[in-house]
Structure 1
Amino acid sequence: MTFRVLLLKVICYSFCFAVQAQIISDDFSDGDFTTNPAWTGEVSEFIVNEVNQLQLDFQPEDLKPAYISTNFTAVTLDDKEWRFDLKLDFAPSNSNKVVIYLASSTADLLDNEISGSTQEGYYLEIGENGSDDAVSLYYRNGSTTDLIARGQNGQFADSFELSIRVRRDADGNWEIAVGNPGLENYVVTATGNDVNYNSAENMGFVCYFSTTRRDLFFFDNVYFGDYIIDTAPPEILTTHITGENSIAVTFSEAIDESTGAGLENYHLTPGSVNPSNVTINQDTAFLTFATHFENGTDYTLFVENIADLSGNLMEPASVDFFYFELEEADERDIIISEFFPDPTPVFGLPEAEFVELYNRSEKFISLENWTITDNTSSESSLPPYVLYPGEFVILAPSSAKTDYEVFGPTISPSSWQALNNSEDSISIKSADGELVDALAYNLSWYQDEEKQEGGYSLELINLELDCFDSRNWKASENNTGGTPGTVNSINDPSFTGSVPQIINHTTPERDKIEIAFDKPIDLNSLENAIYTIEPQIAVAEINTNSDEDNSVELILAEDLSNGISYTVTINSVTDCNGNSSNDLSFTFVFDDIPPGVSGLIFLSDSIILVQFDESLAAETAEEASNYSISPETTISDVRLFSGNEVVLILNEPLDRQTDYTLTISGIKDFFDNTVLSQETEFSFEAPAQPAFNQLLITEIMAKPLADQNLPNSQYLEIYNPTDELISLVGLRYMDARDTVDIGLNYILPKEYLIVCPNSNVAQMRDYGRAIGIRPWPNLNNTGDDLQIINAGNELVHKVFYRDTWYKEDFKNEEGGWSLEMIDTLNPCEGFSNWRASVAELKGSPGAVNSVTEDNQDLLGPQVIKAFAPSENEVIVYFDESINITHVIVNQFAIEPAIEIASTTVVKDNEVRLNLAEKLSVKILYTLKANALTDCVGNTVRSDHNSATFAVVEEPVQNDVILDEVLYDPRSGGVDFIELYNRSDKYINLRNWQVLGPSQERTIFPDDNVVMAPGDILALTSDFDILVNQYPNSTTPENIAVTNLPSFPNGQGIVHIISANGELEEYFEYDDDMHVPFLRSVDGVSLERISPDAAIDVTNSWASAAATSGYASPGTVNSQLTNENISFGKVEANPKTFAHNAPGRNYTIINYTIEDAGNIATVKIFDAKGTLVKTLANNETLNNTGFFRWDGDDGQGRKVRTGYYMIYFQLFSGNGNTQLIKEKVAVGANF
């Protein structure tokens, strides 16, 4: 029996000493050994380390002994004491040892050894060959040494860290004691007498070492002086259990035996008892009690009246401890109460697996050397740990141990066996290999399809349930994903599990029926249950087996008849948790005829599916030796595909020209009927490989619900519209993220095949033939891109569904409804050929869709765009899927004539034309498509079979300019910017950057948008809003939708950068750039008045005219000046304009001067000579430029109609002045 103690109180202690007179006292806490006191010798080979110890740190390559010493005024040795802490990080030997000079006549402690001088004194030596290393005291006189005392043999045989105290009295009596650093627990190890020398001037240390020991000597707390008198009373340091009725109490120092052995000085509660015996050994008292300690009990030991060897009496003290006895675990004393096989995604727990154990017994159980394993053969052992009754412990990988310790006590096995996400087993065994608990889980245990995707642990509902029940497990309901180390979130002690169900039945003999249940059943219940068989046959005997408590054997009074359907009904069956079932029944047909081959299906040239006329026993059906093919063909593997289908996998392909014979023997059905020998002749016929649209995805269940009529499972339905059986071998199913093999299977002509997660196949088979895929690519609720790809990497069918396809919002939002294809003769159509199911079950898996109706595609495809990504290729884009199996060169033509070398299908609506000659730049080509069809056979429309394209060129600065900006739209409106291609190039806007003050956007990241020379293109985020707000001034075909940054009202920037970085347009806009007499700038764009006008000049921009609706997106600007900005000397253009008139409602004042650097003042006067507005005041001019006047005064108000004079006064650098006048007229718009 093993005993353990848990200390519940930690006792702090300290020592008090009366020091009479000290000569040396150094704890090196000042980090320095050169002063106070000063140490001399080979000081370069010693350091004070980071924990303030004196440490040897010998660096020279030539090894030699190193010493350090300190000198003091000569004193007598009578009644003196030496103390020091000594640590050697190695086992001492004769060549690696330490010598401590307590007193030396010379400061050079190696004086005699090196020079042979007469050195006199006393020294300690530790280190010798063998394992008897002890501390020895010597007297030295020159080369003569005398041993005075030697301590306990072997006391210093290993590396150590100890404190040594040496004392000598006036009579020459020496005492050597050893203790622990920091404690006053010295134990005398040697005594002796010598009076040859009675003077001390030097003390120090000598280190002898080899290369690997050159830094492993440590010294600390060095003292030499008068005796240190102990004035501190003893204190309790530790308490530990030594037996079922004994305890050891260790004090801080050796105690007086007369007080320490007093029984009355110890008092134990509960029980209020004194020990029956106390034995003292130095600092430890061993207490024995007359009665045994109680298992699982907290005790308090009171101690008083204990004195140390100096007579110091301790204060009364107490120590608490917990006593328990370890016991062996029986089966399910400790159970697996929670585990975490799939820690991704993370909701709050560490991203690492764990297994939680719970001790549901009243025992204290040690887990040391227990093992944990999954379904592999590897076992991992557990470290020492005692699991208390009613407590949990977390098992986690060592890499996650610290993370899980936040949740509770955590230990790590020697290695971690990773748990499979979908299914696995876990076994816990005791140190002697006995099974304590085990389970085998699968995804159904979560009882929640969303949580089974990961991030949630599996928790036990009722930890005290005696018998296994898979329904006693469920996904955690804690929002962090689990409850490691504590009570489970779903804990329910009243839960008794589910009622028993029949999972299997066999008739091994004509008069015997064996029935298996899904859980252990009470044997008395099995023996007393009511069994009824129709047509009526009496049950003569009921047999049960305690080793197989989930099954029963019925011996019948008469034999079963071949080919007859029987129904067995069972009442009053109770599981071992008390759950009772009534009216359990199953029906079977008795059979004593051996199975026969009903057909062969070739899934590939090396895979044969053998179909039998009844279900087979798996152990015989999968035995390869039961099959042979001649001429000799090696069968490498045999798999039971379904109950009555077996897959044979061959080592070599079959030959179409050869006649074969398949021989089968030894195969049994479920009634133990054996095929003795059966031959089937065959010749190989290659299976059909599906081409485009020869398999169709016709139904999608993306959002199943737990309470729906159909099984709570995602699924697809695949339809074979052909008249041929199609092998699925080599086919791949993919969504937007994952690609998986469909596996070994087939689909019959006109068959609707259900495809679902592997774990849900059994449920879905109630609705049609179902096959499983593992892992299952999750169908996204909002939409996904689904494709079937054949073995030749060719597209068979695709469906890129979206949640808008339901067409009924409540079905989309509610979930539990499938999406169904309306017309399988229009398989490429998306939105218009799909809708939510209208079936009563909310789906129609494995059958004709509930929404089926005529919805044929009667229109041919259109060419919507052509683009030349290089000089050697053109990509043609269609508005729908085309027949990708028949795309040839002759179906395309290019004008001006360019020869097409070949075609490549990029996507089902994109074709690349590979050209035999290069395209030329700056030429607009026209592409025409003819005789192409869509995927249902409609020919490309003659009125939409062409598109123009050109080779794009890289832009440079000013090729494309910013032409118009609306940054402050009307309420409910939308921003736009407008670009103008003023070059002779075709320029692609793909991946250009548009920046606002705080955002950056890439425009057309996935599309090629080409601007032809002279094109105007407005960019906005909403086409409909923009066109509706400016219906009379918008050219819709010149508007493109893309992602733009936010342009704030008031002021901001528009920064445009081409993809190659060679073109930049940077425009700082401000409300002040609008004409001042506008009541509001909401919905008014700023237009560039000329492509030649500088972007960063305020006068280059004007408010869009009212007649254009205050903006002209995609159209020539309303304020565009048609004239080139002329640079005569000074000229106003036009000389007459009117407020709010169509077209120009301002004038441009152009100037040109001979030299730059002149200064100008420009003012406007009315006919009376009154100053109306100053356009410039002493501004420095370039050679050419312009000013703009909007017909307003200095306060921004409209001026009256009439004539006005422009005064343009120039000041040159040499002092000349010139005044130029220009008259303009401001009219009215009627």
Structure 2
Amino acid sequence: MQICRFSNLQSFTAAIFLTLFATLPTQQMFAQLSDAFDDGDFTQQPAWSGTSAYFQVVTQQLRLSAPPINGQAYLSTPSHALEEGSWEIDLSLDFNPSATNYARIYLASDQSDLSGPLNGYFIQAGGAADDVSLYRQTGLVITKVIDGQDGLLNQTAVTLSLKATRDANGLWQLFSALGSSPSTLEGTVTDEVILSAEYFGVSCVFTATRSDKFHFDNFIVTGHVVTDKTPPLLSDIEVLSSKTLSLTFSENLDQTSAQTPGNFSLESNGEEPVSVMLQSDGRTIVLGFATEFVNGLPTKISVTGVSDLAGNNILPVQREFTFLEVMAPVAKDIILSEIFPDPSPKVGLPETEFVELLNRSHHPFSLKNWSLTDGSSVTVLPSKILLPGDYIVLASPNLILTQVQNVIYLANFPSLNNSADDLVLKDDHGLTIDSVHYSDTWYGDDDKKQGGWSLEIIDPDNLCSEAQNWTASDDPSGGTPGRPNSVLASKPDLTGPKLLGAVPASANELLLIFDEKLTKVLPAVPNFKIEPSVEVARVSFIDASLTRVNLALTSPLQPGTDYTLTVSNAQDCTGNSMAETRLSLGLPEVADSLDVALNEILFNPRPTGTDFLEIVNVSNKYFNLKNWTVANREEGVVKNAKVISTTDFLLKPGAYLVLTVSADILKGEYPLSVEENFLEVPALPSWSDDEGSVALLDDTGLLIDHFSYTKNLHSPFIKNDEGVSLERISLDVPAYVPTNWKSASSTIGFATPGYVNSSAVPSLLWDESAVQVTPSVFIPSLGQPDFTQIHYAFAQGGFVANVKIFDLQGHRIKTIANNEILGTEGFFRWEGDSDSGDKARMGPYMVWFEIFDGDGKVTTFRKEVVVAAKF
């Protein structure tokens, strides 16, 4: 049967192709395949293979002769034609093609089996669109690259001539000629995804009624293999062991160049491999080195001189790799180093909470299946290697941390409380690696704790201290996520832990609070003693912070009894031992009004200072101040209440307690203050410089004591009341009585935070003995003592004093005090010198001590003192 061809030179072309094929030593440039089935056989010249039983040659045509079933049949024969390729085929279908009956001509395939996954190109005649189209197949993925005219083959029978070409640049053209019609260009496309060919073939998809109605004839294929001009690429590097690397390249390699040791070297020391082996896949090289790679340290390997099978040399390349021998972590190998619980208002960082981890060890660790929890929610970390000295940031995915390196975004990231929270980091076996109980008091800055600033650890090697080792970031952006902290400094822990308090949680339980983390092994029960004797049954930690210890008692504590707790042999987590410590405690009771008294207030601090309020337990009972409040009270209504403590805090009978937002500032303003009686509070009520009110309430809201003040309660002799506190004169007189308050004495620095007031009523009465000189005879510079003290004690404070020294002729030789405001008691000191700086002569002198009050009443005391000398 004659079929319309693309050229009237068909016979001549076929003959010349066959001739050249027989005479040329290579198939690179001319006919690689031509088969018109004139010999009545498809098993040789060329040899076709596949589902051969389903095909036969009938009247010099290749015909599908499959049994009447639904199926697929194919034949293929070797062919490398692709670049500058041309494929011509005649096809007859004795039916109307459909989605279940169609033919494919595989122009190029890397597999002989055309029924499975392969890489290549094929023409499909038929299908749902009844068209002729060109497809690319990658594995099992089929992509149409030239879409032919739809409906072209919608005929009862089809006689078709097909031709496809591909030039050296990957430009494809597809032609078809239906019956005796002229050839038509179905389309063009440039496609260079697949660059090699191994087989040419045909495939038939059929139903039972079409199993013998496919005819093929006059195959002519020319072209040659695609010229390889691309050098190989190093596509992957894998560390197999501490001395072995695997390098994978983009294509098969020349064996000689691939196994030359000099083509590979480590940048760190120039070391070349001692063994090089090209693997059976032709693309992978395994290198063995004499020296072990440094664990966790990034290393670069250089590759040169390696070529592919076409002789293309690789461009010199360097690739980094890291050998990681993952170790089991111990506590504190990785620490929480930065916490951002309150991102609003924004300072510079994005408004999203985060936690930063630091690997402070010398080993890399895999964080896979580690967990971070705040007690209410748990987030599990993904696979990630954290190298020695590296930081990683854990954050919520709600907002991206721009310009921050090494971030893991966690969908279940814990919500961090602004004021305080517990954070615990555990490894994949549940071992606690680090924990922090942070508080907004750690900022040490009232402005920064309002939001926008992170908390940073100061010394990562200080493993026990918490509050003392954290502070607000100094970075202008508000924090340093993913990089060294702005406050880094050496702050080693060289002291043992301190027992801050002991509070009965119930009659049978005692809560001990330490200032830093203890070692996980607590002292044995005998190291905790309570007198009067109450035996301790069990000692245990309350939480993961390791700073709070519970003592379970065998018998209950009794109300109204003073107990003494002795603790010994406690150690912090770095091994520093605590000195034996004794604390007084008692079972907390319910407070009545006036059991605790307002005793001193500073409402107009200096610009560098801070407000404070002092209270005194005037009862014989112990009180737990947890959830007690300080507030304003206006016209009987409590306003602006501030919680004193959200945790247990025991106030002993007779104890003084100073409430302040900054203990450091207050101590700096008043050096004589007793700091151990300070309690830092999150906030105090607003107190005006002119007038205001103070109210103390217990945890039920019961009013314990209250007081309203005005600046007029200060001494009239004070010209500037900034930094001057008001002190309660008598604890027996109600606080709301205005005359029961006085300005603090100038002789003690204008305030007495943490100890007895300078204006408090003393035990001495006001008589001539109110002023005493001790000793009355002294020797300046050489005596023991070499000075004298002029003591005073009055029934009330607030007097203004002038103190001077006169000789027997009435000459003033020394002014000791000039308009000094006095407390109720105190002293002045004279060292036997004169105003000119000279030493006073030997002999008797008079101490002239004059006081006057706000009404102008003046009282004078005269006392004798003698300056002696040694002979």
TM-score using structure 2 length? 0.48
